[in-house]
Amino acid sequence: MVSTAPRSLPLTHALKEWQVAVNALEQGETIALLRKGGIRESGGTFTVAHDRALLYPTYEHQRSHLVKGQYVDAITPVESGWHPETVRLGSWAFMTDRFPVSDEATVAALLPFHIWNEAFVADRLKWKPNLPLDVLLLRVYTLPQPQIIPYEPTYGGCKSWLDLTQAIAQHPGFVNALADSLPVLEDADYRARRDEIRAIVS
């Protein structure tokens, strides 16, 4: 069995990620994210604040030249500081694994398992080279109905984690949103992909 988190409790935590990456996770095209921390992270490093969180799509820092070819057209450039008036939350994820990786050969071997290209990976490795690149594996669940929430100024900035102003399970019409959510991948499919990545980083 693939480990899962309880799906009946209110969820206020959200993990910020490029909109194109969130879409790929929701479509089952990937289970992996790469992280090294943002400017406003505590200590400048990425930390796992929660093992489960809603997936919050961001737009400002998306760059089409840093993703693989099939994802280029999914990115619409926006001006610095731009944010949408509302945000669509369509899924949440349970983090099953976190691997710190520094070896270039290992990072290169992981290229087929995420949406980013060689340029992005090289840039991440060079930035703060004393810190490892975190590979996160996410078991993603889609909500029975996407929730549209208003953008709040506190949601902006270069940080990975957000605390939403209202829990999703307490929102009108979403009492059973987590309990009724469905996994993007079947257990066997997720386990197979996870085991492939584990074999590379072990």
- Does residue 39 belong to any structural domain of this protein? yes
Task: Read off the pLDDT of each residue in 3-29 and give the average, rounded to a whole number.
Answer: 82
In 10 A of CB 117, how many CB atoms? 16
Contact 22, 54 (CB under 8 A): no
**Domain annotation covers residue 78:** yes
Please report, to the nearest 10 degrees, the dihedral formed by the alpha carbons of residues 146, 152, 153, 158 taken in order: -30
pTM: 0.89
Which residue has better confidence, 15 or 157? 15
CB atoms within 10 A of CB 185: 17
Q: How many residues does the chain have?
A: 202
User: In the chain, which ranges are continuous DSSP H helix?
Assistant: 19-26, 104-109, 118-126, 187-201
- Does residue 160 register a pLDDT over 60? yes
How does residue 44 score in pLDDT terms, banded at 50, 70 and 90?
A: low
Domain count within the chain:
1
Beta strands in the chain (DSSP E): 13-18, 32-35, 52-58, 86-101, 133-150, 161-163, 182-183
Q: Is the dihedral of CA 118, 119, 125, 126 positive or negative?
A: positive
> Do 74 and 27 contact (CB within 8 A), yes or no?
no
Whether 62 is in a domain gets the answer: yes
Tokens standing for residue 23: 């879409």
Mean residue pLDDT of the chain comes to: 86
On whether residue 148 sits in a domain, the answer given is: yes
Tell me what percent of the residues of the chain surpass a pLDDT of 90: 52
Q: Judge whether 6 lies within some domain.
A: no
Give the integer Cα–Cα distance in Å for 35 and 105. Answer: 17
pLDDT, tens digit, for every residue of 55-71? 999 998 899 999 999 99
Contact 55, 139 (CB under 8 A): no
Categorize the per-residue pLDDT at 39 as very low, low, confident or very high, splitting at 50, 70 and 90: low
State which of 9-18, 28-37, 125-134, 152-161 shows the largest mean pLDDT. 28-37
In a domain, 141, yes or no: yes
Residue 29 structural domain: 13-201
Least confident of 28-32, 118-122, 145-149: 145-149
pLDDT, tens digit, 9 for 90 and up, residues 76-126: 888 888 888 999 999 999 999 999 999 999 999 999 999 999 999 988 888
Q: If pLDDT is split at 50, 70 and 90, which confidence band does 1 have?
A: very low
Residue 3 lies in a domain: no
Position 7 scores a pLDDT of 54
Residue 2 lies in a domain: no
Task: Report the C-alpha gap between 25 and 114 in whole angstroms.
Answer: 9
Confidence category of residue 48, pLDDT binned at 50, 70, 90 = confident
